[in-house]
Structure 1
Amino acid sequence: MLLDDPSAEFHDFFERHYAELGRLSSLLTGEADAADDLAADALVALWQRWDRLREAEHPLAYARGVVANLARERIRSATRERRRVALFWSRGAQPAPGPDVAAVVDVRAALDRLPFRKRACVVLRHAFDLSEKDTARALGISVGTVKSQTAKGLAELERVLGVQAARDMATERGSR
């Protein structure tokens, strides 16, 4: 293939970034099974626009944004489905059991509790070691929003996990 062949360029992009995009979708959705599907869907969307994206300054940031949007939609869809099922099967108000604090020791479970934007900022900043600017670009938000959402997300993780566990998570930047 020629060096400037769009198919070859996309194939190279795919090979370099598919695993990372899968890991990002897994961390954002909390569903390891859906990770490959979301990464593949994002890459299909990129391929459809590759003629424009290949000239872009940051195609990976765009890809991360596509994954984040697909993950957000998957979460919203699952939430709507759970509400429909709960409404259909509910037989009146039943008290919900309180949270099992002892079971909330896993960072993954704590991340799942964060609202999407906070989770996305924490994951991109600390699990993927992106700068605030790159995180803002990937999510389509301002750097200031990244700073505040990351700080608030880490504060919530500290409340759930305890101060030391949250600090350990923040210092393990990109070690996975």
Structure 2
Amino acid sequence: MFLADTSAEFHDFFERHYAELARFANLLTGEPDAADDLAADAMIALWQRWDRLRKADHPLAYARGVVANMARERIRAAMRERRRVSLFWFRGPGSVEGPDTAAVLDVRTALARLPFRKRACVVLRHAFDLSEKETAAALGISVGTVKSQTSRGMAELQGILGARAVGDLVTGRRKQ
């Protein structure tokens, strides 16, 4: 009976939060396919600890933290791989490309340019409408760090996208 109840609770948690966690992973990594994998891997990790996690005050905050950590590791691994490939294929100064001169940058491209912690704070605060306290819990950082990283991240986005575009992002965000 206990196993059936536990399984049903986890199934309910999965149904309610999987899509949100996948969307969060997508905004952090910019890779839709990887986002589904990260959300699934996070759910596996949560299931393995569900007996303890189900009694926690905020299991969703813990789940967001798991996704954030997995996304961070994926990004770091990709950066290490790119460095290895570039060192292998580097042919000298003639192979250096010029700067990106695209006139319009979409939000995902702009988010991808932010350092991970700023990106995570901006995404959780503005795309998911979490409070500063909820964001801090999800990322395992202080509320003050959330405030400063969100402010700096939004300032960087403003520099990339322009003040009007960032204002539209904040005022047009989804209300829950």
1:165 Cα offset (Å): 0.2
Q: Is the 8 A contact 1:154 1:166 kept in 2?
A: yes
Aligned equivalents of 1:132 and 1:123: distance in 2?
A: 12
Aligned equivalents of 1:68 and 1:174: distance in 2?
A: 21
1:3 Cα offset (Å): 10
Does 2:99 correspond to 1:98? yes
Over 3 Å counting, the alpha-carbon distance change for 1:2 and 1:174 in structure 2 is farther
* Structure 1: gaps spanning 5 or more residues: none
1:95 Cα offset (Å): 3.1
1:99 Cα offset (Å): 2.3
Aligned equivalents of 1:171 and 1:74: distance in 2?
A: 31
- Counterparts of residues 125-144 of structure 1 (less than 5 Å): 125-144=125-144
Other-structure match for 1:75: 75
Describe the superposition over 1:128-165 as per-residue Cα deviations: whole angstroms up to 9, x where unpaired.
00000000000000000000000000000000000000
Q: Pairwise CA RMSD of aligned residues?
A: 1.7
Other-structure match for 1:123: 123
Percent identity between the aligned chains? 73
Aligned equivalents of 2:33 and 2:117: distance in 1?
A: 21
Q: Counterpart amino acid of 2:96?
A: P
Q: Is the 8 A contact 1:119 1:153 kept in 2?
A: yes
Q: Counterpart amino acid of 1:98?
A: P
Aligned equivalents of 1:89 and 1:26: distance in 2?
A: 29
Other-structure match for 1:86: 86
Aligned equivalents of 1:174 and 1:130: distance in 2?
A: 11
Other-structure match for 2:146: 146
Query: TM-score, structure 1 length as denominator?
Result: 0.95
1:101 Cα offset (Å): 4.3
1:172 Cα offset (Å): 2.2
* Structure 2: gaps spanning 5 or more residues: none
Q: How many residues align?
A: 175
Other-structure match for 2:24: 24
Q: Is the 8 A contact 1:111 1:157 kept in 2?
A: yes
Describe the superposition over 1:74-102 as per-residue Cα deviations: whole angstroms up to 9, x where unpaired.
00000100110000011113333012141
Q: Is the 8 A contact 2:129 2:175 kept in 1?
A: no
Q: Is the 8 A contact 1:38 1:67 kept in 2?
A: yes
Describe the superposition over 1:16-68 as per-residue Cα deviations: whole angstroms up to 9, x where unpaired.
00000000000000101111100000000000000000000000000000000
Q: Hey, which bits of structure 1, 4+ residues long, moved more than 6 A?
A: 1-4
Query: TM-score, structure 2 length as denominator?
Result: 0.95
